[in-house]
Amino acid sequence: MFTQDTINRLKSAETPFYYYDLQLLDDTLKTCRTAADQYGYHVHYALKANFNPKVLQAIQSVGFGADCVSGNEVKASIQYGFSKDKVVFAGVGKTDREINAALDLDIFCFNVESVQELLVINDLAGAKGKKANVAIRINPNVDAHTHHFITTGLEENKFGVNVWQLPDVAFTLRNCANLNLIGIHFHIGSQITDLDAFKNLCTRVNELSDWFAEQGFNIKVLNVGGGLGVNYHSPDEDNIANFAAYFKVFNDFLQVKAGQEVHFELGRALVAQCASLIASVLYVKNGKKKNFLVLDAGMTELIRPMLYQAYHQIENLSQQLITTHNSQFTNYDVVGPICESTDCFRKDVELPESVRGDLIAIRTAGAYGEVMASHYNLRDQVQSVYSE
Ligand SMILES: Cc1ncc(COP(=O)(O)O)c(C=O)c1O
Ligand SMILES: N[C@@H](CCCC[NH3+])C(=O)O
């Protein structure tokens, strides 16, 4: 919910922009930290969700590690103060240049996604006279019951090694003198709201942890990835994810052997609710079949609705200030200015009757929003405005 003061402040900035509520970010981080600390769990923030400098500064200041998926994310995490012994480097296609840079930075661990990658890291580490810590990303074939496009832990997905490939992984590890296996890593998908999916993940992790122990490997880290979802439908009533319930599932169902640490890689749940995309109504096009609100933001600023049919709550902030019980409501297709028919945030959105210049908020846009913006149509770089 935006206060009148905030709306007045937003009116003075040029749209479109992302508005960050840094207090909510801080509250979310502290809630997560407290819930994780209860079990001694380690949280790494998945930078891919949002690498806005202010967001990174806030997250590193609560002591979380960093989960990175490119050489540039590794560099950014260290630049913004994440401790290098809490930086992990994941990704299915790490280049030699990226691996070398991460080796030079002495990061904590590579999350490795194939036997081929193990061999490359072994060679590159050897050439530097180093030993690289690795965790094997295993595809647990657990259904996350999330959108098909953002599920990652199924046999049909490109990520990780499949269970039937593990004997080959074990053989390779035994023959790679420059690798030190420290952990096993999993990530079953994103925007998961059914905690049973994590329960099923725990069962698989327990089996695989036992398998590695039987093979004589000392697995120090169980990295169960991220994926905790947020409430896109009620961003005000439910603005902080239920971290306590999430971590409790792992405490209840994950078998942790003596000396093992449990690591998480949360992205969305930490940052989604703290930002909204703020746009202005450029034109109201009333037709016979449809009414359109044409905004000055589109898929170039927030692509999630177009890419995954993702729901984001849409609010008319200007009319919120003057809406009375007599206000007229109209259904609009809320669209952007981009030359693509898919450039639509949502069809048939019921909003107070809107006029040119009204401020529109597209909520829960802090994760995979600003970071996925593009310059298509040679659009300007989207700007950010902060609550403090
Ligand atoms: C390997 C890995 N870890 C962590 C994350 C973060 O996921 P989320 O933002 O859903 O918490 C992702 C993205 O889905 C991922 O691919
Ligand atoms: N970018 C996606 C999620 C992918 C997460 C990265 N593995 C989203 O906006 O929901």
Q: pLDDT digit string (tens) for 97-110?
A: 999 999 999 999 99
Q: pTM for this structure?
A: 0.95
pLDDT at 153 over 60: no
Tell me if 316 CB under 6 Å of ligand 1. Answer: no
Please give the domain boundaries of the chain with CATH numbers for all domains.
22-272 (3.20.20.10), 273-386 (2.40.37.10)
114-to-118, 134, 137, 168, 265 alpha-carbon distances in Å: 7, 11, 8, 10, 20
pLDDT the model gives residue 158: 76
Which residue's CA is minimally distant from atom 1 of ligand 1? 187
- Residue pair 362/345 in contact (Cβ under 8 Å)? The answer is yes
pLDDT the model gives residue 142: 80
pLDDT at 306 over 70: yes
Q: What is the mean pLDDT of residues 138-161?
A: 71
Ligand 1 center to 375 CA (angstroms): 24
pLDDT at 333 over 90: yes
Tell me if 160 CB under 6 Å of ligand 1. Answer: no
The 10 Å Cβ neighbour count of residue 363 is 23
pLDDT the model gives residue 1: 82
Q: Which residues line ligand 2 (CB under 6 A)?
A: 48, 150, 190-191, 304, 308, 368
The number of the ligand 1 atom at minimal distance from the alpha carbon of 190 is 10
Long-range contacts of 285-292 (CB under 8 A, 24+ apart): 290/333, 291/330, 291/331, 291/332, 291/333, 292/332, 292/333, 292/334, 292/335
Instruction: Please state, in angstroms and rounded to a whole number, the distance separating the CA atoms of residues 25 and 58.
Output: 8
- The tokens for 146 are 């999330």
Tell me if 65 CB under 6 Å of ligand 1. Answer: no
Q: What is the mean pLDDT of residues 323-344?
A: 89
Q: What is the mean pLDDT of residues 7-35?
A: 97
- The tokens for 317 are 């902030």
pLDDT the model gives residue 173: 98
75-to-131, 161, 373 alpha-carbon distances in Å: 20, 26, 21
The number of the ligand 1 atom at minimal distance from the alpha carbon of 367 is 9
Ligand 1 center to 290 CA (angstroms): 38
For 148, residues 6+ apart whose C-beta sits below 8 A from its C-beta are none
pLDDT at 301 over 80: yes
DSSP state of 221: E
pLDDT the model gives residue 310: 97
pLDDT at 53 over 70: yes
Instruction: Please state, in angstroms and rounded to a whole number, the distance separating the CA atoms of residues 326 and 307.
Output: 37
Q: Which of 139, 159, 368 to mutate to test the pocket of ligand 2 (most atoms within 8 A of CB)?
A: 368
228-to-21, 190, 237 alpha-carbon distances in Å: 20, 7, 18
Instruction: Please state, in angstroms and rounded to a whole number, the distance separating the CA atoms of residues 209 and 4.
Output: 53
187 backbone dihedrals φ, ψ, rounded to 5°: -160, 115
Of 176, 202, 274, 339, which residue is the catalytic one? 339
pLDDT the model gives residue 324: 63
Ligand 2 center to 144 CA (angstroms): 13
Residue with tokens 């979310």: 28
- For residue 155, the one-letter residue type is E
For 157, residues 6+ apart whose C-beta sits below 8 A from its C-beta are 139, 151
Nearest to 364 by CA among 282, 297, 302: 302
Q: Is 339 a catalytic residue?
A: yes
Instruction: Please state, in angstroms and rounded to a whole number, the distance separating the CA atoms of residues 350 and 361.
Output: 14
DSSP string, 118-152: HHHHHHHHHHTT--EEEEEEEE------S-GGGB-
pLDDT at 187 over 70: yes
356-to-298, 303, 360 alpha-carbon distances in Å: 16, 23, 11
Ligand 2 center to 370 CA (angstroms): 12
What 3-state DSSP class applies to 37?
helix
- The tokens for 221 are 């880290």
Neighbour-count burial for 4-32, b at 16+ CB within 10 Å, e otherwise: eeebeebeeeebbbbbbbbebbbebbebb
- Residue pair 293/318 in contact (Cβ under 8 Å)? The answer is no
Provide the total of helices (H) and of strands (E) in the chain, helices listed first: 12, 17
DSSP string, 309-350: -----EEEHHHHHH--TT--EEEEEEE-SSSSTT-EEEEEEE
